[in-house]
Amino acid sequence: MHLFSFCKSYIVKKFDTHVNAYAEKNIKDECRVSLKGAIDYNILKSVIVYYQANQFHSIGNYMVLINFCIYAMNCNYPYSQNSFDHEFVVDFIWIETSNKKDTTKVFYSGLISTFVNTYNLIIHNDNRSLGISMSKAYYSSYYSYNQRLTDEELYRIFLTLPSKDDNFIVMFNVLLRTGIRVSEMLSIRKKDIYNENGLFFFKIKGKGLKYRMVAMPQNNFRPFYMSKIRSLNNDEYIFQTKKNTRITRQFVYRGIKKFFLQLGISKEQNGPHVLRHTFASKLYEKHQDIILVQECLGHTNIEITRKYIHLHISNLKKIADLYDDFCSDTLSVMFMFSITNVIRGIIFSIFI
């Protein structure tokens, strides 16, 4: 059965349990007929939007199931051959509900996991439960700011980061601005980098030997490239110790954890993965493009049929500019702070 047909029939079967008891019978019948008559996702969404505004408010909850199916289709997930797996579903739930209240996250998680478990059982005879927790406490910790940085914490980081060691500054920026994993960052060699259109591009080897491209602004990487990378051989790793050995993951984890503690930032896991969660959340909040986020994160179920994932230059520009607002605001804060100190100095000199 086609995923769309399954989605439509699932929503139709659930329709009667989400109908306003006081709705007129003829409107109920019209809605049911309209749902059954939908021939694609856009029409199905239009039907739900229309009847949600006409007595059937709860039916709007099933919009998230349509979004999940569209997401799976756009990601080329092989749902005709394989069951949906835990990682794929959790990734969607996390991104889809990143700006929702905790209670809404739990509710949507229940809708999606029930839908997926039903699909896996009926289509693939797979009766294994995804095991997605329905606990509000679990989702509160998974989605909340215990897993990502707040705007205020980002401002503090951008104000303090310039005082750190060059190697640390660049590694921190690469992780925060590209969303790549620590292991992926430490595997970057000189030959994996090129410079074009005001951006530095990095060829990233992800899990399962799947490649993708990420980018960041020149001004955040050029000084490091000129001083540390330009003289390296093409096959050398770009992040090295003073003894010219490859930097370890433990070194990066310890450095970021220590940096967070110095700034008074406390997360459930005070490590580099906080930067990856922050990147994904900010990118989705700014551009509302789920597929763009998933391509950047390089999850194993994205674009399975292709060896390389290529993003359009305009999309890479979006990613590279992700924190420009914070940087400009930080400079404004620093400028105002400097002006305030100058004024204080003038006033002090007048009265002494």
Q: Which residues are catalytic?
A: 181, 207, 273, 276, 299, 308
Residues linked to residue 308 through DSSP beta bridges, in sequence order: 211
Q: How many CB atoms lie within 10 A of CB 49?
A: 13
b or e along 233-272 (b: 16 or more beta carbons within 10 Å of the residue's beta carbon)?
eeeebbbbeeeeeebeeebbbebbbebbeeeebebeebbb
Instruction: Please tell me the distance from the alpha carbon of residue 234 to that of residue 144, in angstroms, as a whole number.
Output: 41
Q: Within 10 Å of residue 166's Cβ, how many Cβ atoms?
A: 11
Q: How far is Cα 174 from Cα 202, in angstroms, rounded to an integer? A: 10
**Three-state secondary structure call for residue 215:** strand
Q: CA dist 33 to 27, 37, 41, 59, 198, Å?
A: 10, 6, 16, 14, 54
The Cβ-side half-sphere exposure at 179, using a 13 Å CA radius, reads 25
> Distances in Å between the alpha carbon of 279 and those of 143, 179, 273?
13, 5, 10
Sort residue 201 into left (φ over 0), alpha (ψ -120 to 50) or beta: beta
Residue type, 236: E
